[in-house]
Each structure stands twice: as structure tokens, then as C-alpha cells.
Structure 1
Amino acid sequence: MISLPPTRLKELLLKAGVVDAEAFSTVEEEANRKRQNVIDLLISKGLLNKDYFYVLLADAIGVPRINLGDVKIDEGVMNLIPEDVARQRGVILFGKLPSGVFQAAMEDPTDLETIDFLNLRLHGKIEPYLATDEDLNRGFLLYHERITQDFKKIIEESIKESLHLKVVGDLKQAAEDIPIVAIVDNLLSYAISSRSSDIHFEALDDVILVRFRIDGVLHEIIRMPKQIHPAITARIKILSGLRVDEHTHPQDGRFRYKLGENLIDVRVSIIPTFYGEKVEMRLLNAAQKPISLAEIGMFDDTIKFIKEGIAKTYGMVLVCGPTGSGKTTTLYSIMNILNRPEVNIVTIEDPIEYDMRYVNQTQVNVAAGITFASGLRSILRQDPNIIMVGEIRDTETANISVQSALTGHLVLSSIHTNDAPTAIPRLIDIGVPPFLVSAVVNVICAQRLTRRIHIDCVESYTPDSEMRKSFEREIKGLGVSSETQIPKTFYRGKGCSACNFTGFLGRVGIFEAMEVTEEIRKVITGENLNLDSIRELARKQGMVTMLEDGLRKVQLGITTIEEVFRVIRE
């Protein structure tokens, strides 16, 4: 949505008689407190009609207002701008005037940088129109419908053609045949356009089941005939540089796939199952850059603990959580803070998920003898200030990491535990003596990823007494009994075309950060390590638990309480 200076926005609404000064100030204060847009809050409270506001806004900035529901969008013109660019820029090309001027619906027609970009890209001129986010989503849905229709049509045609192939003989030849190539390419393209993080090819007794993981949840996409399974698997093996004739042992590989302007790293894992080989493909945007801790969902109180932990020139900073909880993204965000000209940052990762400028990144390669432990030994000869170890999995890696932290290096790493306090006994179980754990660990951050409510279709509701009791029981079961922690008002996404009627779009983290203070160090080195004592001390010293952080985000309308319960149980 276009952003007007608060004074100008207030002047516009007061002049139109929409709200009075007192009501505007009250809502503005609430919006600042909840980190929400003032206009969105006025609309959600029923104080402002959205369509009328856009009429006022169009008049104020001197551009025409467009309702894309009332016009026929010229898809030929629309497709001159790829969907990812259109979404990023908040623009839909919907027509072309006889004079050759392109008509563009924009969320911010005052964005001169985007207008210049479009003029240059189209080798022409555009006429901007003001459109609501719902209008733009109608256009984005056309992209999706076209992709979906094209995908289904091509897949169906390719499957029909592939059924005539003899895939029992030369698998390499079958994997290079056009129908098989088209099936794999279109599944990859569709997955990327759907914001999928993973593709699963699962061999059942009679079909191949294809599922995409979108915003952390698996969705069935298509079922394909079982007889093309060998050729599909062979095609993926060829792309990944794996052995086509190996079917009884697991294999791991990777390749890069280009879709439009996006370059995607595809990590491939293949394992034998009862009904045939299962393929898992992890999709990573090679051009994605690290984002700030605030952007991944951390609030200031948690960021404070992290920044205090990394301000020290030595010690360990640990990020913990299950697989797929966003640990690597958090580590990259931390490295982004530390990435300065005067420091040498070296990493050992499996795999390197994002290319980070001025950071020396090393990839684990077991075949070449590069493991986390051996790579870490080599890194210590590279004069590092900061070392990032992708994951502490074994005793050797743990002990070398601890020794590195003791000898003047800041070590960043991840470890699989459910919460921050549990990372302490986990390190001890791996084989690190308690006195060393106490000496080197600065801060531990635990996290999960919840689906984010789609802001364009969010609605508030008040749960009935039965639902509230259910939430109370759930929270008590997670070890929290205070009723004051349950918000009075909840939010959810109604579902719309832009979020595929799920009510969610994207993900956001919930976190807890525990500073290892002198009091906690004494408990770690005490005669009997008591996890409850560590947790209680951390709470007294200001740690906000993941559940509490999740409930804060529920109260702000960022996620749902059901999502918080779901991910904390992981």
C-alpha cells in the first residue's frame, strides 16, 4: 500500500470528514504499538471504507483509480513483466492504449523508481493507476491460473507421451526423452512459482505421488503412473550427477536450475523404499541475501540477548531447533551483523545454502575427506576471527568447536534440541565436559517457524468459552498455567486467491534466547545438573520462551494460536 506521511494522511482523512482528530490519534497510537499500518487498522475497525479511501487517495496524488475487476486484463500485455517482478514491484500491466502507452495498476503510483524501471524494461511509457492490494491479487491470480493450467496441460500431455516409452531398458536414454524432461522441468517450475521449499516424489504401490512443501506444510500436487517412475528418477539423477544404475543405496547430489531471473540451488536426496526410490528435492534461491533478525521475526528483547552474545570476541553462540526450523537463516542473519572489513569469517557448511560476500565458505565433502571436524581443523589455520559450523553432530566436532571458542574465536553453530536450556545437557551428552560448556557458551537461541497470517485477508475473532478452555488446557500441557498469557482477541486468515485459500502467506519465526550468565554457569558445573533450575534462572533473567513469543505474535495478528501449538509440539 502507498505510504503517506502521517501528517498528510491525517489531513486527508480529517478534511474528508472520515474520522475526527481524537479517533485518528487513538488508532495511530495502537498501530504504532502493534506495528501495524494505520489505514489497515482503521479499515479493520470499520472506521474507514477501503474503496472510499482509495478514491480520496487517487484524488490526492493526482492519478486515476482502477478496479481490475471491472476491466478485462490483456494477458499478453500482463505477461511482458514476469510474475516475480510484478509481485516485487507491486504492479500489474493490464492494457495498452492506441498511442502505445502501457497501462499499469500500481500499489504506489508515486514510486518513480518503479515507473522508470518499467519504462526501461518495456522500451516505452507507462500510465500509472492506483489499485488496491485485492485488485493486484486478481492479476497475480491470473499468473497463477495460467501457470497452473499450463502445468496441468503439459504434464498430462507429457505423461501420455511417456507411457509409450520403453523405460525398462536404457534408463539414461529414457531420461533424456522429451516427455520425461518436460515433466521434471514443469514440476520444478511450478514448485518454484508456488513458493515451495521442497518437492517429494514418493513411490507407492500403483502411482508416483508428488507433494510440495509450501510454508512448512506438505500439499499433494499430482499422481503419476508408476511405470514412468524409473525414468523420472533417472532424469533427476542425471541432473544431480548421480549414478543412474544405483538403486539400493542412498545418494545425495545437487544442481542449479534457472527460471526466468531466478537461479535456484536444488539439493537432491534419493533413498530406496519398499515400492521404489523416493526423491526429495530442496529448493534454495541462490541469489537470496541474509535478512535482519527483526525481519525473521525477532523482537527487540530477544535481539538484545543475541547482540550481547556476539559482541564478545570469543565463545559460542548456538541456534537450536528441529530440522526445517530456520536455524541456518538465523545463523546467516547473525553473520550479516558480524560481517565487517576488519574480521575474517570462515564457515564449514553442509551444504552452503546462501552465497555471502566477504565470507569464506567451505562445503562438507565426505568423498574428498572434508567433514565438519576435518574442515574445522583446517579453518583454524586460516587466521579466523569468527567461525560458523553448520551443525554440531558429533563429539569430535563439538570438542574442536569448544577448543576454538576457548582460544579466542567466536564460534557460531546449530544443534538439534527442543529449546534453549536443553542445549546445555545435549552438549554434555555429546561429550563436552560441563566446565567447558560453562566456560564457552555465550547465548543460546531456540526457534520454530510458524505460518504467517495473510495480511490481505486477516480477520479478528473472539473465541467462545469452550475454545478458550481448550487453549488453556493446551498451554497448561506445555508447562504454562497463567491465563493472562491467552489473548482476548485472536486473528486468522479468511483465505483468498492470493494465499490459495489457506489464510497463510509466508512464515515467521518464534524464538527464545537464553544468555548464559554467571548464575547459570554455576548450575552447569554443579554436582547435579538441573534443567528446571536453568530454565527458571533464565526466565528470571529476562528470557521470553518460544510459547510466550508465539502468543505475542498471536496477539499482534501475525500468526494463529493453532500454528504456535503445532510447531512447539515438533
Structure 2
Amino acid sequence: MVTFDETKSNKMVEELHKKEEEELANILSSKYNLQYIDLSRVPINTDALQLINEDTAKAAEMAIFNKVGKKLSVAVRSPNKEEAVSTIKELEDRGYSITSFMVSSASIERAVSRYKDISHSVEAKSGVLDISGEDIKNTLNELKNINDARKVIEETLKIKKSYRISKILEIILAGGLSSEASDVHIEPEEESIRLRYRLDGVLIDITNFDQETYGLLLSRIKLTSGLKLNVKNKAQDGRFSIKIDQDDIEIRTSILPGAYGEAIVMRILNPETIALPMEELGIEKKLFEILEKEIAKPNGMILTTGPTGSGKTTTLYGFLKKVQTPGKKIITIEDPIEYHLPGIVQTQVDEKNYTFGNGLRSTLRQDPDIIMVGEIRDEDVASTAINAALTGHLVFSTLHTNNAAGSFPRLIDLGINPK
């Protein structure tokens, strides 16, 4: 005889109702030309949430779930509702740029329930991911070596509170900064997610964590980097900044779809590690003397080579600081500008309008003495850079090879005539 389980039946009905509600919200998103999102699958940033109070959120059936600078991600239940329209207008009047998402009432309820997690109001800083200077300093003081970073990250992963994802991201980045990692790798595998740091050009395993944490962390990183949440089968690139005291540390994010999920790489561009004078680069004395003579010449080309994270760009900055004088015009073409040097004209490439190639040609019309090109990537840049070096300019650049000897076959491969 089959017995009726009322509890199980009610749970099934509840799950079916929730599924239908989410499907309806997804359908309505097309009608209003908005992206659909399920807030149970993404982290909610409490700094963003508190830009409007709880009563306003309930009345307007809306919630601000993420903030990057002056850009807000806003979840709405009824886009045409008077309270929602007026609240969004008020936010726009305050200088915010709004991206609206269609959500179900269950998502709004979940967001509103997060107001209880806000113990006090902290004004979010504009233009950057807000990491408390005091918190980051405390974390950095705890992390004396890579094992300390591993321990703190693993302890943070055990936290079960709703706001832990933001904390995990902060700790991962703090660990990277304290160990002077050039990149943070988050790689989905069949049974777990692997976290690695690139230190001195070599990837070091830090820890593994679960798929649920990865899903929330991926959404948090995408939102912070200005990437599309619903795009899962295409590569995406974005960036954000962290402000620690007076330093802005830029993070370049790359997302790549893989067999078990989207692989994440965050490149850390820390001004403190980049801004080393040439004398502190660790160059052997004999080689240092040779380099000093070469960079003092009025023309020619000097290439730094090596694998990812080996210090190519840091070396170029060391050269620039060494040769900089009031009597020389120095122009750089970078992607992005990693460290601001006074007295130097620094430009940043733009994929659509300002590439390394046309940037270099434009630079030659600016009467420069020294040109720094972030990377020689193609035949156009290679030939233009070599012509510049042959016509009275000193050119610094990087080439992606494993060693100095690999520069010659690489340049030939780029179409440069060895004769």
C-alpha cells in the first residue's frame, strides 16, 4: 500500500511553483528587453544593496545587487512600477549608470532578506572594488609566506555566512598581493576547483574548493569585472581596481570556457612591484654595465623576453626610469598603463581605435627620442618598431619567447627580413 507523504508532496509543489515563477520572469525579460537573472545563483553585494533602504526596496520591488564604480546592477520585479521608475531616476540623478535585470518575486525576497546582514552603513567608494585598507593591511600582516596565504584562504572557505564570497575574493587577492603573485588562476576540474598563484613565472598550487563556492565566486568576479553573467560559452575579458591606501591596483580578468566550467585568470598589476629602479632588478654586475651603455645610446632596439610573469614589463619600467631626463621626449604604448611615470607621455591601446600598430605610427609623428611598446605581437608592429630603431629612435619592447635566443626566429616568424 502506497502512503501519502504530505511533506514531500508540499515540497514538490513548492519547487514546481518556484520553477514556474523563474520561467515566467525569464519570459517577461524578453518582453521588457532586459537580462534575466536568478539571485539565488549570484552573490549580493551588501555595499550595493544599502544604496537604497529596505522600505524603498520592498515598495519598489527592486534591489541593487552589485556595484562597480558608478555602475549598478539592479534587479526589478516590475520595471514599469512607479516606485521602481522613480527610484532608478533618483539613482541616475546621483550619477549612477543603471543596468536592470528581470527577476522573480522570490529573488526580490532573497535580496531584501539580506538587509539583516548589514550591521552598519559603509559608503561604497566609487570607481573601485572597495576593500577596507585596514582589513587588507591586517590580512597582509598575517600572510608572511605562501603557506600562511593557503591557511587563511582555506579557513575563509569554511565560513558558511551569506557574505563569505566577497570575503573569499578579498582574501584570494590579498594572498596574491602578499606573495607578489603576478596572476591568480581559478581552474574548474571534474570533482573540485583548483586555486593557483603564479610566483616568479611558476604556478604554485594553493588549495581546492567546491563547485558551489566556485559558481558564486565566478558570478562575483564577472559582475566586478563588468562581464556578462549569462555568457558561458565565449571567452570574456574585463578589469577592475582595488584601492589600498593611496594605491590603485588594477586587476585584469580573463574568463575562458572549459570542459568543467569557466577558467578564471586574474592578472595583478601592483604599482609597488612594477616600480623598481633598474639597480634593484637583480641584474648581474657585468650585464648591468652592458645594459647601461646600450640604453644610453641614441637609437636602436632593446627587447626583454621571457615567459608570462617573468618580469618583462617591470624591466622596461626600470629602463625608462634610468633614461628619463628633462631633455628627452619619451612616449609609451601600453596595454594597460601599469604604472604612471611623471615626465613621460603614456598612452593605452584600445582594440577598436588605438592599436599597437597605429599607436606606434602616430607616436613617430610626435618627435620622440625614446619609445616603449608594451609588446610586439604582429608583423605590422615588428616592422614599424624596427624601422623606428633604424631611423634615430631608441625603442624598448617585449617579445613573448622563452629566452633571448628565441627572439631571432620569432622576429623572422613575424615577417622581419634577417638580411
Q: In structure 2, how many angstroms separate the alpha carbons of the residues matched to 1:150 and 1:300?
A: 40
Q: Percent of aligned positions with the same letter in both sequences?
A: 41
Aligned residue for 1:285? 270
Q: In structure 1, how many angstroms separate the alpha carbons of the residues matched to 2:190 and 2:225?
A: 26
In the TM superposition, residue 155 of structure 1 has moved relative to its aligned partner by 2.6
Aligned residues of 2:200 and 2:310 also touching (Cα < 8 A): no
Look up the SS of the partner of 1:413 in the other structure.
Answer: strand
In the TM superposition, residue 411 of structure 1 has moved relative to its aligned partner by 0.9
Q: Structure 1, residues 111-133: CA drift from partner, whole Å, max 9, x if none?
A: xxxxxxxxxxxxxxxxxxxxxxx
Q: In structure 2, how many angstroms separate the alpha carbons of the residues matched to 1:348 and 1:213?
A: 25
Q: Check if 1:434 corresponds to 2:384.
A: no
Aligned residue for 1:302? 287
Q: In structure 1, how many angstroms separate the alpha carbons of the residues matched to 2:153 and 2:359?
A: 43
Report which structure shows greater RCO (CA 8 Å, sep ≥6): 2
Q: Check if 1:155 corresponds to 2:139.
A: no
Q: Check if 1:213 corresponds to 2:213.
A: no
Aligned residue for 1:203? 188
Look up the SS of the partner of 1:434 in the other structure.
Answer: coil
Q: Structure 1, residues 411-460: CA drift from partner, whole Å, max 9, x if none?
A: 1111233443442343233212234xxxxxxxxxxxxxxxxxxxxxxxxx
Q: In structure 2, how many angstroms separate the alpha carbons of the residues matched to 1:241 and 1:200?
A: 19
Letter matched to residue 374 of structure 2: G
Q: In structure 1, how many angstroms separate the alpha carbons of the residues matched to 2:146 and 2:183?
A: 21
Q: In structure 1, how many angstroms separate the alpha carbons of the residues matched to 2:261 and 2:286?
A: 49
Look up the SS of the partner of 1:376 in the other structure.
Answer: helix
Q: In structure 2, how many angstroms separate the alpha carbons of the residues matched to 1:348 and 1:80?
A: 35
Aligned residues of 2:275 and 2:318 also touching (Cα < 8 A): yes
Q: In structure 2, how many angstroms separate the alpha carbons of the residues matched to 1:80 and 1:228?
A: 22
In the TM superposition, residue 151 of structure 1 has moved relative to its aligned partner by 4.5
Look up the SS of the partner of 2:278 in the other structure.
Answer: coil
Letter matched to residue 309 of structure 2: G
Letter matched to residue 382 of structure 2: A
Q: Check if 1:254 corresponds to 2:256.
A: no
Q: In structure 1, how many angstroms separate the alpha carbons of the residues matched to 2:199 and 2:274?
A: 20
Q: In structure 2, how many angstroms separate the alpha carbons of the residues matched to 1:428 and 1:266?
A: 33
Aligned residues of 2:303 and 2:396 also touching (Cα < 8 A): yes
Match of residue 404, structure 1, among 358, 373, 388: 388
Aligned residue for 2:169? 184
Aligned residue for 1:266? 251
Which one has the largest radius of gyration?
1
What are structure 1's unaligned runs of at least 5 residues?
Answer: 1-78, 87-138, 163-177, 436-570
Q: Structure 1, residues 59-83: CA drift from partner, whole Å, max 9, x if none?
A: xxxxxxxxxxxxxxxxxxxx99957
Q: Structure 1, residues 284-308: CA drift from partner, whole Å, max 9, x if none?
A: 2134463233321212321222222
Aligned residue for 1:318? 303
Letter matched to residue 319 of structure 1: T
Aligned residues of 2:150 and 2:207 also touching (Cα < 8 A): no
In the TM superposition, residue 84 of structure 1 has moved relative to its aligned partner by 9.6
Q: In structure 1, how many angstroms separate the alpha carbons of the residues matched to 2:409 and 2:318?
A: 26
In the TM superposition, residue 403 of structure 1 has moved relative to its aligned partner by 1.7
Match of residue 356, structure 2, among 348, 368, 372: 372
* C-alpha distance 243-342 of structure 1, shift in aligned 2 (>3 A): same
Q: In structure 2, how many angstroms separate the alpha carbons of the residues matched to 1:381 and 1:84?
A: 48
* C-alpha distance 288-341 of structure 1, shift in aligned 2 (>3 A): farther
* C-alpha distance 262-362 of structure 1, shift in aligned 2 (>3 A): closer
Aligned residue for 2:347? 362
Aligned residues of 1:288 and 1:354 also touching (Cα < 8 A): no
Q: Across the two proteins, how many residue pairs are aligned to each other?
A: 286
Aligned residues of 2:146 and 2:179 also touching (Cα < 8 A): no
What are structure 2's unaligned runs of at least 5 residues?
Answer: 1-133
In the TM superposition, residue 397 of structure 1 has moved relative to its aligned partner by 0.5
Letter matched to residue 181 of structure 1: S
Q: In structure 1, how many angstroms separate the alpha carbons of the residues matched to 2:357 and 2:213?
A: 41
* C-alpha distance 224-259 of structure 1, shift in aligned 2 (>3 A): farther
* C-alpha distance 149-327 of structure 1, shift in aligned 2 (>3 A): closer
Q: In structure 2, how many angstroms separate the alpha carbons of the residues matched to 1:84 and 1:182?
A: 11
Q: In structure 1, how many angstroms separate the alpha carbons of the residues matched to 2:381 and 2:145?
A: 50
Q: Structure 1, residues 96-148: CA drift from partner, whole Å, max 9, x if none?
A: xxxxxxxxxxxxxxxxxxxxxxxxxxxxxxxxxxxxxxxxxxx9869996x77
* C-alpha distance 434-302 of structure 1, shift in aligned 2 (>3 A): same
Aligned residues of 2:150 and 2:206 also touching (Cα < 8 A): no
Q: In structure 2, how many angstroms separate the alpha carbons of the residues matched to 1:214 and 1:434?
A: 35
Equivalent residues in 2 for 1:315-464 (5 A)? 315-366=300-351, 368-435=352-419
* C-alpha distance 415-337 of structure 1, shift in aligned 2 (>3 A): same
In the TM superposition, residue 346 of structure 1 has moved relative to its aligned partner by 0.7
Letter matched to residue 191 of structure 1: G
Q: In structure 2, how many angstroms separate the alpha carbons of the residues matched to 1:143 and 1:328?
A: 24
Q: Structure 1, residues 213-255: CA drift from partner, whole Å, max 9, x if none?
A: 3344333333222133332112111111122221111111111
Aligned residues of 1:289 and 1:356 also touching (Cα < 8 A): no
Look up the SS of the partner of 1:196 in the other structure.
Answer: coil
Q: Structure 1, residues 165-224: CA drift from partner, whole Å, max 9, x if none?
A: xxxxxxxxxxxxx23222222222233233332211111122222222334433333322
In the TM superposition, residue 268 of structure 1 has moved relative to its aligned partner by 1.0
Q: In structure 2, how many angstroms separate the alpha carbons of the residues matched to 1:144 and 1:229?
A: 22
Letter matched to residue 267 of structure 1: R
Aligned residues of 1:189 and 1:259 also touching (Cα < 8 A): no
In the TM superposition, residue 340 of structure 1 has moved relative to its aligned partner by 0.9
Aligned residue for 2:221? 236
* C-alpha distance 84-343 of structure 1, shift in aligned 2 (>3 A): farther
Q: Cα RMSD (Å) of the superposition?
A: 3.0
Q: In structure 1, how many angstroms separate the alpha carbons of the residues matched to 2:359 and 2:236?
A: 22
Q: In structure 1, how many angstroms separate the alpha carbons of the residues matched to 2:405 and 2:166?
A: 49
Q: Structure 1, residues 330-376: CA drift from partner, whole Å, max 9, x if none?
A: 1111111111111111111223222222222222221x322110111
Aligned residues of 2:183 and 2:309 also touching (Cα < 8 A): no
In the TM superposition, residue 261 of structure 1 has moved relative to its aligned partner by 6.1
